[in-house]
Chains A and B, each alone.
Chain A
Amino acid sequence: MNKWKKKQPATIRQFKRPNLAGDGFGGRAGFFLSRAITNIRQNVFVNVVTIGTITLALLIVSLFLLIFVNLENATDSLSERVQVTVYFDNELTSQDQAMYREKIMVLPGVSRVSYVTRDEALKRFKSRLRGQETLLEGVGAEILPTSFEIALKRSHRETVSVENFVTALKRIPGITEVQYGEEWVRRFNSFLNILRLLGALLGGFLVIAATFIVSNTIKLTIYSRRDELDIMSLVGATRFFIKAPFLLEGLIQGVVGSTLSVVLLYGLYEGFLHNAGSFLTFNPASSGFSFLSLEYIAGLLLAGAVLGFVGSLTSLKRFVNV
């Protein structure tokens, strides 16, 4: 055996001692990446179909997300109106004001407390009755109550929290009359709950449908290339070696698809939607129809990458059985 080895010509021996295509992770990853890119170039049609499907599926989901996020923003600005008012018959001294303010600020959920003097109250009353000022003839500031207006934090604006807050407020000695528009708060919150439930249901269905369509498209494209998988396993490729380029391809398809969907969404937004602000805002002071925040865009890109990668992974599981 040794004798035979010695007789081997030098040219053959060099083939027997190959350098590895890439030592370590970097070289291997580079090899798989170049293989994935070659695959994409050689299967343009299949890749266009997959990327197109991912783009459309994510565009539908992101369009829904855009509308839902804006609705949420609109209701958020509306919820600013959830406000608790404490009335006093007399004008409070500055010490009393400070004392009450301190006691109220200690309560959980308070975001802002402002004192409304009699003069300020009269001014507001007048502005509300603009055009009918004659009704106020002879009315002085002294008949109006003074008050503390308390704005609540976002997390404390639902019905139960508001009620708890009012109960706690009434325990402060000296505070007797509290108003917070119970009926309005209740209705507003049930509207919000229905909106969120509908959003979650519709969004959930959309995400499931999108995942289903994308994963089936990827399955079909991998099925159309099962010969390649067979040949790779025939020449002794390990499962990882066969799968890695396909997984990278899926990842690239996912990222490209989701990037395209974000670009298209921005086009739609610029073209049609951002003028539709007044449509959705109940509060003229709110900022109007805005585009998705960076977090959501990053989330969409990530969703595309995950969709492509996991779609390929599950499909390959079916076809690669070395």
Chain B
Amino acid sequence: MIQLHNVSLAYQHDASALNNIDLKIGKGEFVFLTGPSGAGKTSLLRLLYGALTPNRGQVLIDGQNITRMTASQIPLLRRSIGVVFQDFKLLQNRTVFENVAIALEVLGWGRADIGKKTMHILKQMGIESKYNQTTQRLSGGEQQRVALARALVNDPKILLADEPTGNLDDANKNQILNIFKEANIRGTTVVVATHDRRLIEQSHKRLVTLNKGEIVEQVEKETAGYDQAI
């Protein structure tokens, strides 16, 4: 589903953010990206949804080489990718419903279908009762569930998350993790960038560790320890 070949990325006036990354993530996989701050986790995610273009190498999403995509093709790519962030990135003055519906409006859905599908996903996230509240009045956990609802409402092939539990307490972290797992069970490929060791250890999923822009360790899923580096 996701393939990176020899990818390097450098920001202006800065040392390289990513260096010779080779990574394959299969369809339906669940992968954690970890590493210290500045290791390149966020840069790697941004490459995957076309917010950045690598200086070298190829990025393939579902067989399409996104480094060769034109600016007008990137939005179409993003429609099959859901993204969530640590700071949620919600429209503060809009309601929960509007925040989620926007992902379907973009696709040109009709009003009735948007209503049904949005309420359906809000129910899955357990926040359907708050549909008419503005997001600024919600707790952190609730806001992240709205962000997840927006990311998942159009059944994306890939779900990307950048420190999704960074602002949440333990109870909320578990709920969010369960939502990721459920999405994964339904067939969505999930990539979560985090340095929350507890979250990673709880999940027993594939782990890719980055440091200074390079992959330093890969651990296959559901192994007991971290000694089976590839």
Nearest CB to that of A241 among chain B residues? Answer: B106
Cβ of A238 within 8 Å of any chain B Cβ, yes or no, is yes
User: Bound complex: CA of A31 vs CA of B79, how far in Å?
Assistant: 20
Decide: A15 and B117 in contact? CB cutoff 8 A.
yes
Chain B residues closer than 8 Å to A321, beta-carbon distance:
71
Decide: B75 and A18 in contact? CB cutoff 8 A.
no
User: Bound complex: CA of A237 vs CA of B75, how far in Å?
Assistant: 6
Per-position 1/0 for B150-171, Cβ under 8 A of A: 1000010000000000000000
User: Bound complex: CA of A42 vs CA of B78, how far in Å?
Assistant: 27
Decide: B106 and A235 in contact? CB cutoff 8 A.
yes
Chain A residues closer than 8 Å to B113, beta-carbon distance:
14-15, 18-19
Cβ of A20 within 8 Å of any chain B Cβ, yes or no, is yes
Cβ of A10 within 8 Å of any chain B Cβ, yes or no, is no
Given contacts A231-B102, A322-B74, contact A21 B108 (CB under 8 A): yes
Chain A residues closer than 8 Å to B112, beta-carbon distance:
19
Per-position 1/0 for B48-81, Cβ under 8 A of A: 0100000000000000000000011011111101
CB proximity to A under 8 Å, residues B27-54: 49
Decide: A236 and B106 in contact? CB cutoff 8 A.
yes
CB proximity to B under 8 Å, residues A234-273: 234-239, 241
Chain A: residues with Cβ within 8 Å of the partner, total of 24
CB proximity to A under 8 Å, residues B91-128: 91, 93-94, 102-114, 116-117, 120
Decide: B89 and A231 in contact? CB cutoff 8 A.
yes
Name B94's contact: one of A15, A42, A234, A237 (CB within 8 Å).
A42
Q: How far is the CB of A284 from chain B (nearest CB, A)?
A: 60
CB proximity to B under 8 Å, residues A208-249: 227-228, 230-239, 241
CB proximity to A under 8 Å, residues B118-140: 120
Chain B residues closer than 8 Å to A322, beta-carbon distance:
71-72, 74-75
User: Bound complex: CA of A15 vs CA of B109, how far in Å?
Assistant: 9
Query: What interface size band does chain B fall in?
Result: 20 to 34
Nearest CB to that of B134 among chain A residues? Answer: A42
Decide: A43 and B76 in contact? CB cutoff 8 A.
no
Decide: A18 and B93 in contact? CB cutoff 8 A.
no
Nearest CB to that of A15 among chain B residues? Answer: B117
Q: How far is the CB of B67 from chain A (nearest CB, A)?
A: 16
User: Bound complex: CA of A262 vs CA of B58, how far in Å?
Assistant: 58
Decide: A233 and B78 in contact? CB cutoff 8 A.
yes
Q: How far is the CB of B116 from chain A (nearest CB, A)?
A: 7
Given contacts A42-B93, A230-B89, contact A237 B106 (CB under 8 A): yes
Q: How far is the CB of B42 from chain A (nearest CB, A)?
A: 14
Q: How far is the CB of B227 from chain A (nearest CB, A)?
A: 38
Chain B residues closer than 8 Å to A235, beta-carbon distance:
78-79, 102-103, 106, 150
Decide: A238 and B102 in contact? CB cutoff 8 A.
no
Cβ of B83 within 8 Å of any chain A Cβ, yes or no, is yes
User: Bound complex: CA of A167 vs CA of B217, how far in Å?
Assistant: 99
Chain A residues closer than 8 Å to B83, beta-carbon distance:
234
Given contacts A227-B89, A237-B75, A238-B72, contact A232 B102 (CB under 8 A): yes
Decide: A227 and B91 in contact? CB cutoff 8 A.
yes
User: Bound complex: CA of A172 vs CA of B83, how far in Å?
Assistant: 89
Decide: A21 and B91 in contact? CB cutoff 8 A.
no
Q: How far is the CB of B64 from chain A (nearest CB, A)?
A: 14
Decide: A234 and B89 in contact? CB cutoff 8 A.
yes
User: Bound complex: CA of A237 vs CA of B74, how far in Å?
Assistant: 9
User: Bound complex: CA of A201 vs CA of B88, how far in Å?
Assistant: 52
Chain B residues closer than 8 Å to A239, beta-carbon distance:
71-72, 75
User: Bound complex: CA of A15 vs CA of B117, how far in Å?
Assistant: 7
Nearest CB to that of B106 among chain A residues? Answer: A237
Decide: B72 and A21 in contact? CB cutoff 8 A.
no
Which 7 residue pairs of A and B lie closest in terms of their CB atoms, listed nearest first? A236-B79, A19-B110, A236-B78, A18-B109, A235-B103, A237-B106, A18-B113
Provide 13 A-B residue pairs closer than 8 Å at the C-beta atoms, listed in order of the A residue.
A18-B104, A20-B110, A21-B109, A43-B93, A232-B106, A235-B102, A235-B103, A235-B106, A236-B76, A236-B81, A238-B75, A321-B71, A322-B74
The interface of chain B, by Cβ under 8 A from chain A, is 49, 71-72, 74-79, 81, 83, 89-91, 93-94, 102-114, 116-117, 120, 150, 155
**Given pairs A231-B91, A236-B75, A237-B106, 9 additional interface contacts (CB within 8 A):** A15-B120, A21-B109, A231-B89, A231-B90, A234-B78, A236-B78, A236-B106, A238-B75, A239-B75
